Structure 1
């Protein structure tokens, strides 16, 4: 569609004006922050780090320090020392130091007045203390791995300039270096600088807002009027008022060429909207039905109704550190002979009945699943070892007592070998637990089948 003669286009002018205003704001902010950080923060941070490091070092090298902390010499200080925890807390208190600063009355500070003092965080510190080749202290917010320099750099990418650490050697009475204190400080002035910068940026933002307001009133006002009318059309379309739009069409009081193009295309869209809405509704209903089917197929074993292996692993992924953890693997004894004798139809009946026994004996907080073929799994937590063994034996007996009615045949029963990986406190992965349970299952079959074996049981204690 061609633009009408004389129809103005403001998009280029608007973009240039807004971009210039935004660019100016960013440049001013960058200049202010760079100057303040470079001139003020760096020397204060380095001076503060030096003061904190020397304060810690003076305490450790004082003559009374060994006696006060229950050691013979300073190099004996270790986590096993009687006074180590007290020393640790003393160093830890330097990470965030707070003082109450009294307000001033003229040139003189006011007398102590709880209500007229203001708490100020003078500094926060990253600190590492090394003594006699051992690291005795590292600030909680630093990485626990790597050298002191590596951990400080990891926390602050401006390490080499603004927050360069200070290294204070610890010397013995003979002047030999026996340790090192590494400290880096974040000065309190940083907060004030950020506050001042924020205030300046707020004023600058208000100025830019006022300039943009004038530009909008002069240039964008007519455009907004046309967009408002067009938005009303789309709102009716979104609300489903298609019949009203068919009657009135898309009406514009005034517009620029860009808006006219959109209005024409909108009219063409509206002519087909009602039909598409009905088609979409039907499609949505069909997709929702398919979604339910696919979700069940992706998570549930089609024959037994238990969780499939993939969904089983998803359900237990976040529970491997719970106390009293049990992973049980079950295998139907001589299942191949059942299939050979009664066919796959009979085998399916056995698998379905076996799954029903699992569901009846384990529910609630446990997770049951079929891993494939005649292999099943049960995961549960919160069990003591006696409870675990009793539950497993009870399940084995229930399987042995169950009777399965095969089509066109007499009822039969089966037995199951059960292997268990159990840990009251565990940091093992699922693969490691599975290997333990699988090894226990192998031992149960080797010992004669129809029995429960827990990983770690002595071979001498196994029947058979």
Structure 2
């Protein structure tokens, strides 16, 4: 038997819940990290770019700047100017001095040597200085080709969100814009931290899934096995497959106290079920025995053990259409005198012996019954006329030759008058057959008793 249910599996539900909780935890962690980066790092990077740009611009727009670099005014600054190299170094210091973390080699840090080797940096500053149509300065780490915007995009295509460039215009004394400083904080160490964080998150997810597997195997597995065993026990109970359960009881893992309690209660249910089934079996046996007794009493004559009249009619009802049909009625001759002489006990002995002769003479498919008092009936089909006559005569002779032992060591014999209704191709109802057989029986009684009369062979006078 297949058991269908619309409910989800507990094991799948637990595993999905654990996996979903793990995934949710990782996603929440990722969202928190992203929010921190967005809320904290991006403004700090833009603020740093703004500070660098304004620091560079303050130097360039200070009154002493032209004099210190050997030029008459700021617009005259160009690579050909005598102080350009000095100015270049000034801008470069804005880029490198305050934002370097030297490599650690043993106990001594490596000093920055003003070269272009890239030490590990908390922040790297990208600076582009334009004056008029000239680009006076571009950070060495940017691509030398293309415009400043293209170089910044090429360098930082993955980090536009976190370090957007800051544009600071250079204005002369008359308020005219004569140049532009573009500054941007590029945080390589921070990017590495984010990458490492992503890897750690991935490893954390894998670790959580592995922990889920261990929890499922170590904690949840026994629980699910026990519940599955209980489910199988109740299925077998529902299907009626209980013999082994009754014999061996519940065989299951009891990994937790709750499961053990359920198993104990289930064992009690099985024991009670066994007791009730045994009681039910006993009741069924008693009812079956009572049914047999009642059926016997309702269908069998208590004295002769022959079919009573009602059951006799039930048995022959479906055979009235068969060919070669014979209904024979028998009456013990002078039975009242036997009762008067030997008492009812003697009469009962005669009736029992008479019934035995009938059963011995007509076995097989013949139906033999007692219609009441000393009247008996025999019904049979598929008999030829000769078989009918010889059988009836043989029965009469057997009755005549029988000796019945009465109480008090007495033995007597009896005779019987027999009337037969025979129909080779029956088109009659049972009532019509019975009338014919009864008329033939009456003729046998009237013409001397101890004889067989077949209906239609002698002059008949219907009783009454």
Query: Which TM-score tier does this pair reach, normalised by the shorter chain?
Result: 0.3 to 0.5
TM-score with structure 2 length normalisation? 0.44
| Larger-Rg structure | 2
TM-score with structure 1 length normalisation? 0.44
